[in-house]
Chain A
Amino acid sequence: MAQMTMIQAITDALRTELKNDENVLVFGEDVGQNGGVFRATEGLQDEFGEDRVFDTPLAESAIGGLSIGLALEGFRPVPEIQFFGFVYEVMDSINGQMARTRYRSGNTKQQPITIRSPFGGGVNTPELHADSLEGLVAQQPGLKVVIPSTPYDAKGLLLASIRDNDPVVFLEHMKLYRSFRGEVPEEEYTVDLSKADVKREGKDVTLIAYGAMVHACLKAADELEKNNINAEVIDLRTVSPIDVDTIIKSVEKTNRVVVVQEAQRQAGVAANIVTEIQERAILHLEAPVLRVTAPDTVYPFSEAEDIWLPDHKDIMEKVDQVINF
């Protein structure tokens, strides 16, 4: 099996589906000749030509609108929004238009679009590059929101997203792009868009996270093990829809939960998870479900980001509180 970084796994998935399906089109700012600012589309224009992989003029809003139009013509667009902080420019196309097309057309039209976009902190970017804005799209019915944490999942989830007939926002954490390699099969496979992954089994406490925070949880779990605390780690993989079954099964086993997100605390994905748990499994809980999040400020650009971002120590602190409640 090949060892790949996440960015390589993403390129591999795009190549696979460009080969498989002539309706797949890959486009965005700098994705053509330049191969994308992170090289996610490196070599794809040479391989598939300028009709399949192309640069757009600089306009996020039009990238969204173009995708909707191409989908109406039977294509399967895979646009890139260069950084997810630029999503505000294209919010109407995403939340206001493509998410509502199935309903608006009485289920006669669909929008099989996969919007790829880098986000996430810890890489010293300027303003509006690193923000965790998944909550904005997770709140919108009609969209699926996918956030891989490993190269293996990135390939399988991206292939599943492109093949999905509903619009998917596929968010790629910049810190994970090249920070480690993982095994990625060269053949094609998909990872289910409705299944969380139990990354590590445990019996004392459940840690629920997605994206880069999965790795912070795994690190915390390793440390906790030294104190004989056996943590289970769940990687959501999709923050919309949420795989509630996997979560509740784990809660019923461990009875203690900490939910972790890189995003700010207010109105986030974690709040939704906590609510699902207390609605469905309150009698299984031995302690309140706690959250580890960033504070309710804008993302620092970039001084102080290391303190602003949650880390494994913050997670261990909350685990201590739920264990000793």
Chain B
Amino acid sequence: MKHVLDSVESKFEMFQILDENGKIVNKDDMPDLSDDELKELMRRMVYTRVLDQRSIALNRQGRLGFYAPTAGQEASQLGSHFALEKEDFILPGYRDVPQLIWHGLPLYQAFLFSRGHFHGNQMPEGVNALSPQIIIGAQYVQTAGVALGKKLRGNKSVAVTYTGDGGTSQGDFYEGINFAGAYGAPAIFFVQNNHFAISVPVEKQTAAKTLAQKAIAAGIEGIQVDGMDVLAMYAVTKHARERAINGEGPMLIEALTYRYGPHTMAGDDPTRYRTEDLNNEWEKKDPIVRFRTFLESKKLWSEEEENKVIEQAKEDIKAAIKETDKYPKQKVTDLISNMYEELPQNLKEQMEEYKEKESK
């Protein structure tokens, strides 16, 4: 009787290009990025870190609603996104607002999403994405559908989705990767393993040593990546995208990362389930710090440049929140008119009733 688990699990090694000291450890897989592109990656990460800090502050002031902090996950979110094209369709989880913003969602709309305003969910023309999914893992099965659609139409683009470590326990996760595998559909499934599903550590989530190995059961390729390494994230995503477009099927990518902040701003207290030591251990791997070291060694980045990005981000956020405040408040009649293509009788009546209420 042959047992295979050990031999399978040992094959899933973390893919890395830039180590935590900012040194290239894997020249062979170094992506072909111009200096400007490398700087753009840095710019996006710094900008997004500022956006996170400001969003937390705005939430505390009651000026934003639902918010899931992103600091720590910049390489995982933005390195992967940088390898995508405009025509690729993103199905994000609720922490994946940064990818939407860099895919083209205006900042003020991201803020309206946070406030629970429907306009925050209206992707502008040409922004191929759904608004963030709240139900854990639901986007995974839908991704198989978007990907199959692309295959049937012969589109040379991919469906891309993100969930967390907790999401890999949902039935939808397995069903999604299995369907995409069965159809050989062009999909990229990300698992941003930040090691805690709210409070539950990944070791309690599953007996599997890696989440990437879950690809095996679906018969698709899987890989584990250093999610704090923006170059590795970019390289892996680019590879997965090329494979998918060439008809080689979907891929599951596990990014090892960490969220520095709470699960969301609605009362989660990470000190109940994480130690300061663990936080420190991960902060040493910070994606921005290591990439800065790398860029500085190539004379591509300076403090001055970074400060310019920080100031730009602050200005943009200030302007965006102003625009958010100016946008007409959502009304109940907006909810009613967004329910069906044509209003049924009950809603026609209720439309009149609420119009009258709102006019008072």
Contacts and interface: CB of A to CB of B under 8 A. Distances in A.
B190 to A, nearest CB: 16
A266 B340 CA distance: 15
Given A55-B204, A57-B204, A301-B116, A307 B357 contact: yes
Nearest to A266: B346
Contacts of A307: 331-332, 354, 357-358
B332 A295 contact: yes
Contact of B329 (A58, A125, A129, A304): A304
B26 interface: no
A141 interface: no
A88 B171 contact: no
A158 B346 CA distance: 37
Contacts of B267: 37
B335 A295 contact: yes
Secondary structure type dominating chain A contacts: loop
Contacts of B332: 295, 297, 300, 304, 307-308
Question: How many residues of A sit at the interface, in one of the four size bands?
Answer: 35 or more
Given A29-B200, A295-B354, A298-B335, A125 B266 contact: yes
Given A34-B273, A295-B354, A126 B66 contact: yes
A27 B44 CA distance: 41
Nearest to B206: A57
Interface stretch (B16-24, B162-170, B218-226, B238-246): B162-170
A303 B273 contact: no
A127 interface: yes
A58 B167 contact: yes
Nearest to A86: B135
Contacts of A32: 199-200
Contacts of A266: 346
Given A55-B199, A58-B166, A304 B272 contact: no
Contacts of B350: 265, 295-296
A305 B116 CA distance: 10
Interface in B322-345: 329-332, 334-336, 338-339
Nearest to A299: B335
Contacts of B171: 59, 61-62, 89
25 contacts: A29-B197, A29-B198, A33-B273, A57-B205, A57-B206, A58-B205, A59-B170, A86-B135, A124-B65, A125-B66, A126-B65, A126-B94, A126-B116, A127-B116, A127-B134, A129-B134, A266-B346, A295-B335, A295-B347, A295-B350, A295-B353, A297-B332, A302-B116, A303-B65, A304-B334
Interface of A: 29-30, 32-35, 37, 55, 57-62, 85-86, 88-89, 124-129, 265-266, 295-298, 300-305, 307-308
Q: 6 closest A-B pairs (Cβ-Cβ)?
A: A34-B199, A58-B166, A57-B169, A302-B116, A297-B335, A126-B66
Given A297-B338, A307-B358, 10 more contacts: A34-B198, A37-B267, A57-B200, A58-B205, A124-B116, A265-B346, A295-B335, A297-B339, A303-B330, A304-B335
